[in-house]
Amino acid sequence: MIALTDTELRYPGAPDTTPPVLGPLTLDIPAASDGPTVVGLAGRNGAGKSTLLGLIAGQLRPTAGSVQVGGREAFDDPDVLRTVSLTGVDVDYPAAWPVSTVLLTAARRFPQWDAATATRLREAFGVAPATAYGELSRGQRSAVGIIVGLASRTPVTLLDEPYVGLDAQGRRLLSRELLGLEEPRTVILATHQLADLERTVSRLLVLDRGQLTHDLDPAELGERFIRVTRSVQRKALA
């Protein structure tokens, strides 16, 4: 489903001697078939997580290599844009839009939108539909991103730092929702807060300075997950 081959992204005009923001990176994430696949994408701030998600979502063009989703080059492809949802606390919705308009806009964009799930999650997170997006707290914006991502029912769902600003109840709610997914879909959850990942992910990718440093499958999770988690946390504090 998702295939990156020798993928690099550099800032426009950056000298050739400047390391790329991301890559070179080769990565394959098969399509979910029998049920959901939840992949954790970990790394400190600035490691390249958001850049990688932007490439997969077709919002960024790689400067080298390729990024394919469902066998199609991802960048600016209409089918990929319908297949992939990318949400997060930093999505730039108009500040004056009420939450209801944000959700209505998402419903019009994603053909498989699940209105019942959107309403249920909005109520569970305690986000009022009439509140303007610009008046939401950081945690409430994270909640809106989670609602849009999960209710979109897209085959590929990208959640960028969904735990930011959430209280303990909100984090538990997100973990329960991820564990309760049933339909085949691939969810990539990018975060620098790793405490909630071990129970919810079946694969863990770790980025550091634009490079993929770890790729752990279910058999390798557990004690090694703990060691990797501690390593990422130490780097985040450095």
Torsion, Cα of 135, 139, 141, 143 (10° steps): -130
pTM of structure: 0.90
Residue 237, amino acid: L
Q: What is the CA radius of gyration of the chain?
A: 17
Condensed to tens digits (0 to 9), the pLDDT of residues 4-30 reads: 999 999 988 877 778 899 999 999 999
Domain map of the chain by residue range?
Answer: 34-49+84-237
Helix axes 99-109, 115-125, angle to 10 degrees: 150
Tell me the pairing of strands 64-69 and 2-9: antiparallel
- Distance separating alpha carbons of residues 55 and 119, to the nearest angstrom: 30
Condensed to tens digits (0 to 9), the pLDDT of residues 34-61 reads: 889 999 999 888 899 999 999 999 999 9
- Distance separating alpha carbons of residues 180 and 199, to the nearest angstrom: 12
| Locus of tokens 């991103």 | 145
CATH for 34-49+84-237 (3.40.50.10490, 3.40.50.300, 2.60.40.10, 3.65.10.10): 3.40.50.300
Condensed to tens digits (0 to 9), the pLDDT of residues 213-235 reads: 989 875 666 656 556 555 555 55
